[in-house]
Each structure stands twice: as structure tokens, then as C-alpha cells.
Amino acid sequence: MKFIVSSAALLKQLNSLKGLVPSNPVIPILENFLFEIGDGLLRVTASDLQNAMTLETAVETDEKANVAVPARMLLDTLRNLPEQPITFTIDTESHGIEILSDNGRYTLAGEDAGDFPRPAEPKNTTNLLFSSDVISSAISYALFAVSSDEMKPAMNGIFVNLSDGKTNFVATDSHRLVRYRYEGTEGNSNSSIIIPGKAFEQLKNALPSSPQEIQLEFNDTNVFFNFGNIKMVSRLIDERFPDYENVIPTSNDKNLNIDRQQLLSSLKRISIYANKTSQQIRFKLENNNLLISAEDVDFSNEAKENLPCDYDGDALEIGFNGKFLMEMLSNLNCDTVHFEFSEPNRAALLYPHEAGEEDVLMLVMPVMLNNYY
């Protein structure tokens, strides 16, 4: 059978899926894209067994056929072709694939589509509706704080807690925590699931640039996303998420408001002089002044900067991992940030300061300073 498709349209589609093609798969056929052609549509699926995504694009054909196509070879071919209509010819018996372009002819050895594992279908699901802007914000705020420690599987994803029309998206790696809260969830549900970080990473690359409704469904084992011409399924993390609410300190009598970009720029300069192992940055706060400093005793490196700020509270000296602070500040979009502190050995909270900003809370654990031993 034959079909004709735009090389640029197909490449864009495959680029959204390539993150799910494993380099060393448990099942060799997962190194392929699954092509399903019918009803004037090409449906392309990629899977790593834990996550699967399917995209649709229009093609010129009246025929039907399924085949598994080598992913890396096809991507490399399309990347090096100028935009043009290309013709695929599929031998349904041998699974051979021929691509004809204005530049030449390319032959690939495909595989039997029947060997490609089929994504799970939604059954007995709870259904919710979100704007793509909400999902995009949740990913932007929380994904960086997801743990990569395989010994802590519950922290390898974003905890999604639904309660009374509110949805909390929470991520933590035990050193920092992010909670993004959205009010106005469409759908009646009081439940909690943990969606793998990789699923959100993949979803981030596929979200539309303009607002669009996203259907989210989940059951005991999987979560399903459906929007536009995209369907995605991911296996949930079957673990108990830490009781994050009890970690958030409530009695914070020291408050700091400071320009986000000025603080971020200062941290980038000061961190150059910090110990490369600890990344320790020191904050000294008093009289509306923030003294930021770092030193690496082993190499006699030291740096200090003073920043004006609005500080309300007793003098405070506290240490942080500079890398963590910079990542947190980089993932906020506000002009001014608000910190809350209590004691040098207790977690600090970070929020956008401006009224009307999205409801996002970030928590960072301190590091012990030498003068507190």
C-alpha cells in the first residue's frame, strides 16, 4: 500500500514522540514507531512499556496497513530532507518500507506491527478536564523538583491530589518541595495519584502553544491524556507519597521580599566561588540588607555581595544549596519573590510576591553552616 505525507509534518510528529523510544529496550520492537494507516490518517505510536503516546496526521491514501518502522533511521532521514511531499510504500507481507522523495529513494526493513505492544485502554476511569495552561504551569513549576533516586520511587513522579474542586500538583526530592495549586477543576473526585515525571516530561513536549482542553482520565493503574490529535497513557507509580503537608512550616516570623532577577543574578556569580561538592551559599539578613556569600576553603576562593531588600524580622544567618535556590528562582515568572524563615535549621518557603500570581509554594531545606556546629 502507499500513502503520501508532508515530510515536515511527519518530522514534527515524530519529534514529539522520540523521547519514548528507548535506546536499550526490553523488547527490541520498541526501537520502532508503530504506523497505523487508515481513513486518511496516519497514527504513530511510541512506547517504552511504562508510557505510550499516539499522534495522528492526515495523509493521502484510501488504503489500510500497519507496520513497525525503525525510529532512529526514519528520524535521521527526515531531518536531512527539505520540506516536501514524500511517498511511503509498504509491503504488508515482508514489512519492507520504501520512501520516495524528490531527492531519492530509501528502503527500510520494518517489522510486524502485531508484535508492537498495544497501549492500555481507559476502563473504569475517573474523568477530569483541565486547560492545557494549567498542565503546562504544573509541569513548569514542579517537574524540576522530581527525584531521580530510584530508591525512592514515590518521589519519581508528581503527586496529583484532587479534593473539593482543588488540585494540588506536588513534587519533592527530599531537599526541596514544590506545590502548585489549581482551583476550579472540572469533575467530581477526591482522590490522589502519582504520575511519573517522565510522563510529564513527554507531555511538556507535546502540549499546544495556545490554550486547549485536556481530558485526563485515570484508574487504579494508569492515567490517560487526550487532547487534539494526541493520546497518551502512562502507568501510575503505585507507592505512598510522603505526607508533604506536615513538612511545610507554619510559624515563620521572618519575611523577606526581594527582586527575583537581582537575587538570581547574584547567586549565579556567588556560586562560582562556592565549594563544588556542597554548593553552600550563606544568607545574612538584617536591616533591609541581604549579604550573600560563599567560600571554598580548599582553594581559598571567596565571594560576597550585598543586595537591598525588604526584610522584617530578627537578624538571621542561614545556609542553602545554591544550585537548588537558582533552579527554584529560575522556575518562577514573577518580578519579586517572598521568602519566609523561622530558624537556621528549619525549611524556608518561597512564593511569588505579587498579588494575582498563581498559587505556587516552594520549600527548600537549609544546609548547616560551620558556625552552627
The residue behind cell 490517560 is: 224
In a shared domain, residues 272 and 335: yes
* 294 and 225 fall within a common domain: no
Percent of the chain with pLDDT over 70: 97
Residue 166 falls inside a structural domain: yes
Tell me the C-alpha distance between 271 and 322, whole Å.
Answer: 6
Reported residue count of the chain is 373
So what's the pLDDT on residue 188? Answer: 59
pLDDT of residue 242: 94
User: Please, what is the end-to-end C-alpha distance for the chain in angstroms?
Assistant: 74
Among candidate residues 246, 263, 295, the one where a domain is terminated: 246
Please report the pLDDT score of residue 8 as a whole number.
95
Q: Do residues 339 and 307 touch, judged by C-beta distance below 8 A?
A: no
Residue 265, C-alpha cell as written in the block: 543574578
- Which residues lie closer than 8 Å to 46 by C-beta, 6 or more apart? 17, 18, 20, 21, 33, 34, 52, 53, 71
Question: Could you tell me if 153 and 38 lie in one domain?
Answer: no
pLDDT single digits (tens) 260-309: 999 999 999 999 999 999 999 999 999 999 999 999 988 999 999 999 99
Band (pLDDT 50/70/90 cuts) for residue 187 is low
**Percentage of the chain surpassing pLDDT 90?**
88
Region of residue 10 (left: phi > 0; alpha: psi -120 to 50; beta: else): alpha
The per-residue pLDDT for 298 is: 87
State the residue range of the domain holding 211.
126-246
Tell me which H or E stretch contains 136.
Answer: helix 132-142
Residue pLDDT, tens place only, 189-212 = 689 999 999 999 999 989 988 899
Of 68, 95, 115, which residue sits at a domain end?
A: 115
Helical (H) or strand (E) element with 17: helix 7-17
| 76 assigned to some structural domain | yes
Q: Tell me how far apart the alpha carbons of residues 256 and 268 are, in angstroms, rounded to a whole number.
A: 20
Q: Considering the domain boundaries, does residue 235 fall inside one?
A: yes
Number of domains in the chain: 3
Is residue 188 domain-shared with residue 203, that is, in the same domain? Answer: yes
pLDDT for residue 371:
55
Q: Please report, for the domain that includes residue 316, its CATH number.
A: 3.10.150.10
- Let me know if residue 37 belongs to a domain: yes
Q: Are residues 326 and 269 in the same domain?
A: yes
- Residue 121 inside a domain? The answer is no
